[in-house]
Chains A and B, each alone.
Chain A
Amino acid sequence: MDYAASFYIIAPELILTGAALVLLLFAAWMRDAAKLATVVAITALFGATFWTGHLLLDPSFEMGADAFGGLYRMDDFGSVAKLLIYLATIACLVLTPRYFERRGAYRAEYPVLLLLNAVGMGMMVSAVDLMTLYIGLELSSLSSYVLAAFLRDDTKSSEAGLKYFILGALASGIILYGMSLVYGFSGTTQYVGIRIAFADGLSTGALFGVVFVLAGLAFKIAAVPFHMWTPDVYEGAPTPVTAFFASAPKVAAVAMLVRMAIDAFGAQVEAWQQIVIFAAMASIVVGALGAIGQENLKRVLAYSSINNVGFILIGLATATPSGVSAVLVYLTIYVAMTIGAFAAVLMLRDRDGEQLETFTDIAGLSTVRPALAWGVLLLMFSLAGIPPLFGFWGKFVVFQAAVQADMIVLAAIGIAASVIGAFYYLKFVKVMFFDDPVREAETQSPVGHWVVLGICVLIVSPLGYLLTPWLGAVADSAAAALFTIV
């Protein structure tokens, strides 16, 4: 086995692991290392991003490459997902310090946990072996539990962490049980082997294994009916952590699910297609209906993320290359919209620096902070999928894939349900623009927040459509990578 080649391929993970371990030492010996640790972590993430980009563009890796004897695979699909994950993590790190500093709770462990999380996510999307997958999943999940409870003296944060941990552990257990069944019936943990073993049909036991694995993964992406933890955890966790949960880990979990469904279980599409269709429909409807009565902005965004996962799953349900490509395009736009929305929520503070977290708090915002309000307006219309904003394009490609796969009824129900979602996105606009101010918002926000919000708003603005040829080409080649393995 050529270790040098393997290390070359997994260099992004190595960079991040190295940075995390060094920072951990720093944090143990140095006081007030939080700022420095954040800068180092961002640098490391940029390094990993560039390396991933290099691997993506390098023509000699056009067909991808395996590392460590088929435990880990580097291909366009994984690289695109990782780019998204790293960039989202960077954005979250930029948004974080100000939130905690006000409570004096920012410590160097935070960037370290985020780095370890990024390593885990990178492994999740690149794993082509159940064991690698599980290690990546747990590395990511465990650091997430700690992050959710990062405000130790805040009961809500602790509650969120505990809730997330217990339910997450349950899901991990379900996945493990499913994996053991899959292994038992296929005799291998490698995706290629599982695919070959299941090519001639599934026995009942193996089917149970597949269903258990998918159920566990559905928990990780917060698809209905395994979504119950999402609103509570999103509301209780510190807002920057929520922003992170809604972006990078979502990408990782979806990409992991897609790779597993297409690669490992790709010979038995009928076995999981119905499950995915049901989860997609239920997520769209529940995500839209659940958000209607909510008053807390973070809870609304939590339901919004459930709703968006539903649309993403429509792409997966087609089980075609164009469907997978649509999933990646949608994920890209989703990340921009979500990070933008949370950046805006983090910028909403009153004069004393207290976070504004409910609809009543942001009433009449457009008179106090016009620029911020217009940014949120664009993001919300984009989330609702109204053209000419870029969020429409995500829905467009997903539905196009569904129509091409002859799943017209699914597409019709999905798009009709998206109108329900428009209702609560409109509420943001209504509250900010039509109502009179109730609380005084602070008038200044730090540059870092503006930069993140500005980039996200630029992407979702109609200018985003100029990205479509390029985005489509990248997503197509990434999707093709999944289908050429066989």
Chain B
Amino acid sequence: MDFPILSLMLLVPLVAGIACLFLSAPTARMVALVATLIDLALGVLLWVNYDIGGAQWQFTERAELFAVFDYALGIDGIALMLIMLSVFLMPICILASWQGITRRVGEYMAAFLFMELLMIGVFAAQDMFLFYIFFEAGLIPMYLIIGVWGGDNRIYASYKFFLYTLLGSVLMLIAMLWMVNVAGTSSIPVLMQYDFAPSAQTWLWLAFFASFAVKMPMWPVHTWLPDAHVQAPTAGSVILAGVLLKLGGYGFIRFSLPMFPEASAQFLWLVFALSMIAVIYTSLVALVQHDMKKLIAYSSVAHMAIVTAGLFAFNVQGLEGAMVMMLSHGLVSGALFLCVGVIYDRLHTREIDRYGGLAINMPRYALFFLFFTMASIGLPGTSGFVAEFLALAGVYQVSTWATLVLTTGIILGAAYMLYLYRRVAFGVQKNADAAAMSDLSLREWVMLGPIAAAVLWMGVYPESFLAPMRADIAALDARLARAAPEGDSRPQVGTPRAHEANYIEGAHGAAAGASEGAH
């Protein structure tokens, strides 16, 4: 396809963002909404035209604009899904800020549009330095979003967010420079096939790990996340949880695993240990939170730990599970932050105790909140179930103990989410002002409805989302095979069935009744 659709997806938010800086508040809102919807439409176009089973890298573009590195874009199935997640959440973020943001609206919308540009750029970049530029540049708009439109303690949170993530990332740049110096190219597809010496891989892996672990965030470098989430405005939290946290997982799947397979296997224990601690520890911390946003922030850390464990399972299930978990968590935690935002807009507090019995006066809201709570827990039928099941099935093949701990974390997850829901939506209406809140407005329906539909779709028919990624994950699995660790579960391969699981006897008219008893 010759049409530069990826560049166009970058250009639309850029132009709209610059325009927003000069526009009045109502116009800026409209421009931002229209621009993000155009990008969503382009994203759908991208998905429709994506040739499943075709070339690994599609929609490639290349221009030699700069010294040392190229302007090279292109996506595989993994990047496609994450770009879809970004463009899907973006209009919802704009809608979420429609009334909540009244100060400096133009600049706010511009910051979000630049954010969208950078997120698409990160996932579409095919040059390592271009990737780094997009990856790091995201700090600037997020810093401003937290600092200008955030809560009371926003300055501390914005500094912590910025410096923490910057410190994590800079060593990665040195590692990248070294890699390019040795391999002689900065093209990501080429580097993904390049075999670095195992001794060098150790250091390179650690440098990349420092960056992605902070972004992810993994325990113990997760502490910036609760602060940033709590202080950011609602839409900021959605983007942070929905897309920015995915940069870490994307980094692992794009860089750490394919480029340093031996080192990844070498540090398997580290990743698993940190993931296990994170799941248990942050779930326990989430149990005792009084601030709704903080609780959801800690639950994000726990969910991300399942992503890291799944990624480092070195098998197809684990990788697929991690990817679905990222998509699912992007939708679900984004929606949960929106749910918090809905009641925050009415009462201006995130204190759980100030609410109670919302199911009585806000039944529709309570329904949505319940649905997303269930999705977060991983109820079958929602995307969370598919994600957790696949990821843990993958981890089980490598380490049964890790699976045991991670599953315990999921039980704890059910505990804190249900506890949260009980305190907010059920029980008596303790406070008159909370009891007087009105139910969802049309705007809020439009925000939450599509996410709920997507969560349900991903839970009932995940094949739509897995199909584009299948070939890429298989390629990654093949690349990792040489370093794959031996698992402790030792599953026995049974005798395969004659037919697939969904094979319907008699559908082809052959010997229907006779073989029925054989099964």
Contacts and interface: CB of A to CB of B under 8 A. Distances in A.
Given A387-B137, A430-B158, A469-B66, 7 more contacts: A404-B181, A416-B171, A422-B162, A429-B144, A430-B147, A434-B158, A468-B68
Interface stretch (B172-180, B246-254, B337-345): B172-180
Given A388-B133, A426-B162, A418 B170 contact: yes
A465 B137 contact: no
B170 A430 contact: no
Given A388-B133, A392-B133, A419 B140 contact: no
A403 B167 contact: no
A374 B133 CA distance: 20
B163 A403 contact: no
A135 interface: no
Interface in A277-303: none
B511 interface: no
A63 interface: no
Contact of B137 (A388, A433, A468): A388
A374 B148 CA distance: 13
Contacts of A422: 162-163, 166
Contacts of B154: 434
B66 A415 contact: no
Interface string A22-60: 000000000000000000000000000000000000000
Nearest to A405: B181
B22 to A, nearest CB: 10
A160 to B, nearest CB: 33
B414 interface: no
A381 B140 contact: yes
Interface in A453-486: 465-466, 468-469, 471-473
9 contacts: A386-B137, A392-B133, A415-B170, A416-B170, A430-B158, A433-B147, A433-B148, A434-B154, A469-B65
B24 to A, nearest CB: 13
A415 B136 CA distance: 14
Contacts of A399: 173-174, 177
A403 B137 contact: no
Contacts of B173: 396, 399, 415
Residue from A387, A397, A434 having most chain B Cβ neighbours under 10 A: A387
B136 A386 contact: yes
Contacts of B137: 386-388
Contacts of A400: 68, 177, 181
B155 interface: yes
Contacts of A426: 143, 159, 162-163
A423 B163 CA distance: 7
B132 interface: yes
Nearest to A475: B67
Contacts of A418: 170
Contacts of A465: 65-66
Interface in B105-163: 129, 132-134, 136-137, 139-140, 143-144, 147-148, 154-155, 158-159, 162-163
A124 interface: no
Interface residues of A, number: 33
Contact of B163 (A396, A408, A419, A466): A419
A412 B132 contact: no
B148 A434 contact: yes
A408 B140 contact: no
Given A403-B177, A416-B171, A433-B148, A471 B67 contact: yes
Contact of A411 (B134, B147, B166, B174): B174
Given A386-B137, A408-B178, A468 B67 contact: yes
Interface string A232-271: 0000000000000000000000000000000000000000
A434 B162 CA distance: 15
A386 B66 contact: no
Interface in A49-79: none
B103 to A, nearest CB: 9
Nearest to B65: A466
B67 A469 contact: yes
A412 B166 contact: no
A382 to B, nearest CB: 11
B177 A411 contact: yes
Given A434-B148, A469-B67, A387 B170 contact: no
B174 A415 contact: yes
Nearest to B14: A462
Interface in B342-398: none
A197 B415 CA distance: 80
Interface in B1-47: 21
Given A433-B147, A434-B155, A408 B166 contact: no
A386 B159 contact: no
Interface string A94-113: 00000000000000000000
B355 to A, nearest CB: 30
